[in-house]
């Protein structure tokens, strides 16, 4: 018997003996307290279904809404971790237990290996004898013609086209910088004189030092983005000094959306952050391009019909939002929540059979 085990037995025996001499109730109390010592695997869980096993529970990736249809990515452990694009189709006879049908062909893996950890599928990834060459290109879907829009740097991610289709915003960085020290640049898609990134307009990052700039988004002719220059991942608008929503909160990380806008030219800003272990959904008015956000409202937890944690917000139609989330007693699921009725969030798909 090991020395620690001998000492524990000696301590238990002597404590029990001491309490028996002084108080029978005390002896019972000490025995009950010590009997509660368990290994991590011995504690009961609120999730007890046999379906909730590591080889059966899929992992939800991105959530998307397009042309009135809801899509999501599933990472399936029983298929070697293959990532599959699925469409929400609860009435389809071929639907899975998760109320979805496969959109991507069997055997394909929907993922990007260019900038895998921080996104950006529209990156032209070329190999050369010296090093990998990365460029942002446009592709004409009619004839396949490609045009290089940005080149010259080590890495690119998050290309975003303005609503009028004339400007391209993107994130870029060079060695030895990592994605935590990036630049946001903008170029003209049709009239740019150069496709070299060093010639494109610098919007944020770069000269600011070790600053991460992520998630550029165009809305109503204005460019928004997330930066951690204040020490927090706050939301900024190009041309406006300071954050439009200054808070001691992170509105996004490298693989999180962080914020979006409701449909329409004057859509409201919708953002998500974490507070005290819970996800908070925030909406605000940002129509005035010369001022910070106003008319701020927050929703969180059961009182507002939301799961404990959620991520991957996307806007649908008629005030509906979709996201992946869960709670201590609920497996990871795809939810629908209406910002107008503010009722209970509806589970559309569960990572196992909920």
Domain CATH for 131: 2.120.10.30
- Looking at residues 222-229, what average pLDDT do you find? 94
Shared-domain flag, residues 275 and 223: no
Lookup: tokens for 62 = 């991105």
Shared-domain flag, residues 73 and 151: no
Given 251, 279, 314, which residue is the final one in a domain?
Answer: 251
**Lowest-pLDDT range of 109-118, 195-204, 292-301:** 109-118
SS (H, E, C) the chain: CCHHHHHHHHHHHHHHHHHHHHCHHHHHHHHHHHHCCCCHHHCCCCCCCCCCCCCCCCEEEEEEEECCEEEEEEEEHHHCCEEEEEEECCCCCCCCCCCEEECCCCCCCCCCCCCCCCCCCCCEEECCCCCCEEEEEEECCCCCCEEEEEECCCEEEEEEECCCCCEEEEEEECCCCCCCCCEEEEEECCCCCCCEHHHCEEEEECCCCCCCEEEEEEECCEEEEEECCCCCCEEEECCCCCCCCCCCCCCCCCCCCCEEECCCCCCCEEEEEEECCEEEEEEEECCCCCCCCEEEEEECCHHHCCCCEEEEEEECCCCEEEEEEEECCEEEEEEEEECCCCCCCEEEEECCCC
Shared-domain flag, residues 188 and 298: no
- The contacts of residue 150 (CB under 8 Å, 6+ apart) are 135, 136, 156, 159, 168, 170, 172, 185, 187, 195, 197, 200
Shared-domain flag, residues 279 and 346: yes
pLDDT at 5 over 60: no
* Residue 342 falls inside a structural domain: yes
Q: Which residues pair with 297 in a beta bridge?
A: 283
Range of the domain at 169: 118-251
- Looking at residues 148-174, what average pLDDT do you find? 93
The residue with greater pLDDT, 95 or 130, is 95
Supply φ then ψ for residue 214, to 5 degrees. -140, 165
Closest alpha carbon to 171 in 65, 252, 57, 63: 252
Q: Which residues pair with 321 in a beta bridge?
A: 315, 337
Shared-domain flag, residues 326 and 263: yes
pLDDT at 266 over 50: yes
> How would residue 159 be classed by pLDDT, with cut points 50, 70 and 90?
very high
Shared-domain flag, residues 225 and 212: yes
* Residue 113 falls inside a structural domain: no
How many independent structural domains does the chain possess?
Answer: 3
CA distance 333 to 351: 6
The residue with greater pLDDT, 221 or 335, is 335
Shared-domain flag, residues 177 and 267: no
Given 202, 228, 251, which residue is the final one in a domain?
Answer: 251
Task: Report the pLDDT value the prediction gives residue 354, as an integer from 0 to 100.
Answer: 58
- Looking at residues 60-79, what average pLDDT do you find? 92
What is the pTM (predicted TM-score) of this model?
0.76
* Residue 123 falls inside a structural domain: yes
Task: Report the pLDDT value the prediction gives residue 127, as an integer from 0 to 100.
Answer: 59
Given 251, 276, 294, which residue is the final one in a domain?
Answer: 251
Residue pair 313/323 in contact by the 8 Å Cβ criterion: yes
Shared-domain flag, residues 82 and 141: no
Task: Report the pLDDT value the prediction gives residue 347, as an integer from 0 to 100.
Answer: 96
> How would residue 194 be classed by pLDDT, with cut points 50, 70 and 90?
very high
**Lowest-pLDDT range of 203-207, 250-254, 270-274, 276-280:** 250-254
> How would residue 353 be classed by pLDDT, with cut points 50, 70 and 90?
low
Shared-domain flag, residues 184 and 226: yes
Residues 9-65: pLDDT tens digits?
Answer: 333 333 333 333 333 333 333 334 445 666 666 766 665 555 555 557 888 988 999
């Amino acid at each position: 018997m090991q020395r620690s085990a001998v000492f524990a037995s000696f301590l238990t025996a002597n404590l029990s003996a001491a309490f028996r001499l002084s108080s029978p109730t005390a002896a019972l109390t000490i025995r009950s307290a010590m009997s509660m010592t368990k290994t991590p695997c011995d504690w009961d869980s609120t999730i007890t279904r046999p379906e909730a096993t590591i080889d059966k529970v899929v992992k939800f990736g991105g959530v998307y809404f397009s042309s009135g249809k809801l899509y999501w990515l599933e990472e399936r452990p029983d298929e070697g971790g293959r990532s599959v694009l699925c469409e929400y189709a609860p009435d389809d006879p071929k639907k899975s237990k998760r109320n979805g049908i496969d959109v991507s062909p069997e055997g394909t893996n929907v993922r990007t290996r260019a900038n895998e950890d921080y996104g950006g599928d529209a990156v032209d990834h070329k190999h050369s004898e010296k090093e990998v060459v990365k460029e942002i290109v446009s592709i004409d879907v009619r004839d396949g013609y490609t045009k290089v829009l940005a080149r010259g740097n080590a890495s690119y991610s998050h290309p975003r086209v303005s609503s009028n289709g004339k400007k391209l915003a993107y994130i870029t960085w060079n060695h030895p910088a990592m994605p935590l020290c990036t630049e946001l640049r903008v170029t003209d898609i049709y009239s740019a004189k150069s496709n070299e990134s060093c010639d494109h307009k610098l919007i944020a990052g770069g000269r600011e030092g070790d600053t991460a700039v992520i998630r550029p988004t165009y809305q109503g002719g204005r460019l928004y983005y997330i930066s951690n220059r204040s020490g927090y991942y706050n939301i900024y608008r190009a041309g406006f000094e300071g954050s439009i929503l200054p808070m001691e909160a992170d509105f996004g990380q490298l693989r999180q959306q962080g914020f979006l806008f409701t449909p329409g030219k004057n859509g409201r800003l919708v953002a998500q952050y974490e507070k005290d272990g819970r996800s908070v959904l925030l909406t605000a008015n940002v129509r005035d391009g010369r001022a910070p956000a106003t008319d701020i409202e927050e929703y969180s937890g059961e009182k507002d019909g939301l799961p404990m944690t959620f991520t991957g917000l996307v806007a649908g139609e008629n005030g509906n939002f979709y996201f992946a989330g869960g709670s201590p007693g609920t497996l990871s699921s795809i939810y629908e929540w209406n910002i107008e009725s503010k009722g209970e969030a509806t589970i559309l798909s569960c990572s196992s059979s909920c």
